[in-house]
Structure 1
Amino acid sequence: MSDWTDERVLVTGGASFIGSHLVEDLVAAGADVRVADDFSSGERANLDAVADDIEILEGDLKDIAFADRATEGIETLFHLAADHGGRGYISNYPANCATNMALDTIVYEAAAENGVDRITFASSACTYPTDIQQERTRLREDMIQFDERGGAYADEVYGWAKLMGERSLQAFQEQYDIDASIVRIFTAYGPRENETHAIIALMAKAYAGQDPFRIWGDGEQTRNFTYVKDITRALRLAAENITDGTAVNAGISRYVSINEATELIFDQLGWEPDERDYLTDKPVGVRHRAADTTRAEELLGWEPEYNLGDGLAETLEWYTENRDRDYVRSNLETLLHER
């Protein structure tokens, strides 16, 4: 399937950062889109550009009746709804993240009962074993497997919940013959993301003029920051091309240190602090993370189109246009830690 015209599509978590961009892409492709969201972190304003073209349902997808209503009459489901946030959030709220396992199962059950044809699950790089991310080893999908003892070692409760979401979807694919695909998202950033995530957190602190500028860890930890439009394209291509529950990475292969990203933000904002304060007692997660995208290239014809400089420019332009500097300065600590 590559033609989305009049396809009846549900995006769970569709008012979220990534979800709202996906909804816009699907509307542009001609799909008939429904959004299901509880608006605990997503915002209605994120959907303003397409609000007249979509159906919006507000409710908790852990409620079986609401999940049934949301999936009724749907052909393709993009399941992005989850309780999650940045590193500080998933470290401090593990029980919240654990509820994703119930959420995923309820959504899959409702989809199966309502005859949904295909499901694409938004998974995470946090599913990968943490011990292999202390050195610069690009992560391949086959580094996670369920066939041997010790084949999985996910990153905190959030990573384990995402991994169980993958395994559950594969089970539903096997039992109900639903076309299924999984996209492991690597450190997405872009317009509409909140300040609990690394790139927006760094932008917020710079925009607020924080000096000394506080960086969690020593700043040499790396991530493969992936622009949101590359992520949403991978999700659509996975739905179009994968049916058997295979997982693919959506990330970049370049290791970008927090220090490098910080300096790029300073350059683009035209501001630099007098001092930098490295907070080595803060949670920073794994030491290094970058994706091997060979499988995505082979199965989807996908590779990232945005480089870090261009993506940061788009994101910083959005942030400075949509955030009041005095408000950010006055509420910085709350913004950085609350979902």
Structure 2
Amino acid sequence: MDFTGKNVLIAGGAGFIGTNLALALAGRGARLRLTVHDKPLQAAIPGAEVISADLRRPEDCARAVQGMDLVFLCAAHTSGAAVIRATPLVHVTPNVLINTLMLEAAHRAGVGRFCFVSSGAAYPPTGDRPVAEDEMFDGDPHEVYFAAGWMKRYAEILCRTYAEKIARPLPCVVVRPSNVYGPYDKFDFAVSHVTAALVRRVVERQSPLEVWGTGEDIRDLIYVDDFIEGLLAAVAAEQPYLAVNICAGQGHSVKQILQTILKVDGYDRADVRYDPSRPSTIPVRLMDNSLAREQLGFEARTPLEEGLRRTLAWYRNKRLRIPLPR
């Protein structure tokens, strides 16, 4: 798809995915509108229109989507494992409002295409086997993600309804990410995911270096630049409705991730201590990348070591400006 001159809304322009998507689309000549709510943009986006909006309000959603050719819904209320376990409904009410109202506003405004960023956490557990797209509704999400997973599933059903079940349909793309990491991620321990938390602990040279859980949990990690390429490939597909995994297609344990970060950053004498009593999520989450490879021609290309090297460099230089210890 040629994005040159396209009117594109990125809802959630100050977030991790939204920031990286805005940078990518600005480089492709799109005319961008970005929504912000409770925090400012993380990066300068040349030529972008920035509007303050509370997407839990229908009037703000209507204002945001007006005149847009393409809408990316990246806005969401997110948090880490501890918060999810303590307050399972924390993701539900605000996100149901955002997702529902944004779809309705986009449909009413005659938007050409709508992209919803879902989550691999909405899938039912499949043990050591990578989960494929057609298995989304084969069982409940993992107990830890029960509420948040069904919230995402509800939004996916809404996307399919708008795309296939009504007059004047709104073409919709649902992208299901694995664990995305990279620059502009959340590094606050209260809300960060495992990779960002480990990067911060290593850069700060924490000693002891505490890791929540046993370190045996396995995740599919995809570097954010790869994820954005997959996202844009999905949006460029011709189907009126598409739901697709955008993932690396391989798993790494938390221990392997940490060992790679330590190696890349030269932290040879780290006193690593795993704490099984602290909250983690599910033991194994793997995702199948066959559909994206076969239908979109997309494969993640950034090796884990290279992606972590870039993330470490960005976090140190852009956020903390902490010099590498000698």
Alpha-carbon offset, residue 64 of structure 1: 0.8
Residue 325 of structure 1, CA deviation: 7.2
1:24, 1:325 → 2: CA distance?
22
In 2, the alpha carbon distance for the partners of 1:278 and 1:217 equals 6
Q: CA deviation at 1:92?
A: 3.3
Which residue of structure 1 aligns with residue 245 of structure 2? 249
Residue 117 of structure 1: aligned partner: 112
1:242-300 deviations in whole A, cap 9, x for unaligned? 43322111111221011011111111221144532211122211111222111111221
Listed one character per residue, the Cα deviations across residues 56-75 of structure 1 (whole Å, up to 9, x for unaligned) are: 11121111111000000011
Aligned equivalent of 1:330: none
Q: In the TM superposition, what are the counterparts of 1:304-319 in structure 2 within 5 Å?
A: 304-319=300-315
Residues 198-224 of structure 1, C-alpha deviation per residue, up to 9 Å, x if partnerless? 111001112222222211111011101
TM-score (ref. length: structure 1): 0.88
Is 1:118–1:243's contact at 8 Å kept on the other side of the alignment? no
Distance 1:281 1:245 in 2: 42
Q: CA deviation at 1:129?
A: 0.5
Alignment of 1:58-137 (within 5 A): 58-98=52-92, 99-130=94-125, 132=126, 135-137=127-129
Instruction: Measure, in 1, the Cα distance between the counterparts of 2:268 and 2:278.
Output: 22
Deviations 1:178-199 (A, max 9, x none): 1111110110000111121211
Q: Partner of 1:336 in structure 2?
A: none
| Cα offset, 1:91, TM superposition | 2.8
Note if contact 2:210-2:274 (Cα within 8 Å) is conserved in structure 1: yes
Structure 2 residue identity aligned to 1:121: F
CA contact (8 A) 1:212 1:273 kept: no
RMSD in angstroms over aligned alpha carbons? 1.7
Counterparts of 1:319-338 in structure 2 under 5 Å? 319-324=315-320
Is 2:296 aligned against 1:300? yes
**Which position in structure 2 is the counterpart of 1:240?**
236
Q: Matched residue of 1:241: which SS? A: coil
Residue in structure 2 matching 1:166, options 156, 162, 175: 156
Which residue pairs with 1:37 in the alignment?
36
* C-alpha contact 2:162 2:171 (8 A) present in aligned 1: no
User: Is the contact between residue 180 and residue 242 of structure 1 (CA under 8 Å) also seen in structure 2?
Assistant: no
Distance 1:242 1:296 in 2: 14
Q: Which segment drifts farther, 234-243 or 10-19?
A: 234-243
User: Does the CA contact (< 8 Å) of 2:53 and 2:64 recur in 1?
Assistant: no
Provide the residue aligned with 2:177 in structure 1: 185
SS at match of 1:249: strand
Question: Which SS does the other structure have where 1:167 is aligned?
Answer: helix
Letter in 2 for 1:111: A
The counterpart of 1:287, out of the listed 275, 283, 286, is: 283
Is 1:153 equivalent to 2:141 in the alignment? yes
* Residue type of the alignment partner of 2:86: N
Counterpart of 2:244, as a letter, is V
Structure 2 residue identity aligned to 1:28: G
Equivalent residue for 1:55, pick from 29, 32, 49? 49
Q: Separation in 1 of the partners of 2:20 and 2:319?
A: 19
Structure 2 unpaired stretches of 5+: none
Identify the residue that residue 138 of structure 1 maps to in structure 2.
Answer: 130
Q: Equivalent residue of 1:262, what SS?
A: helix
Answer with 309-318 or 231-240: which moved more: 231-240
User: Is contact 1:181-1:242 (8 Å) kept?
Assistant: no
The 8 Å contact of residues 11 and 36 in structure 1, kept in 2 or not, is answered as yes
Please show how residues 261-276 of structure 1 align to structure 2 within 5 Å: 261-276=257-272
* Match status 1:19 vs 2:11: no
Secondary structure of 2:9's partner?
A: strand
Compared with structure 1, are the counterparts of its residues 115 and 95 closer, same or farther at alpha carbon in structure 2 (3 Å cutoff)?
Answer: same
Structure-2 residue corresponding to 1:9: 8
Count of matched residue pairs:
313
Identical-pair percentage: 29
Query: CA–CA distance in 2 between the matches of 1:29 and 1:274?
Result: 42
Taking the aligned partners of 1:300 and 1:107, their CA distance within structure 2 comes to 26
Distance in 1 separating the partners of 2:84 and 2:36: 20
TM-score, structure 2 length as denominator?
A: 0.91
1:136 is matched by which residue type in structure 2? D
The answer to which of 170-179 and 13-22 deviates more is 170-179
Whose helix proportion is higher, 1 or 2?
A: 1
Shift of 1:115: 0.6
Q: Name the SS for the 1:215 alignment partner.
A: strand
Alignment of 1:218 with 2:218, yes or no, is no
CA distance in structure 1 between the aligned counterparts of 2:209 and 2:201, rounded to whole angstroms? 7
Q: Is the 8 A contact 2:89 2:148 kept in 1?
A: no
**Structure 1: how far apart are the matches of 2:105 and 2:153?**
20
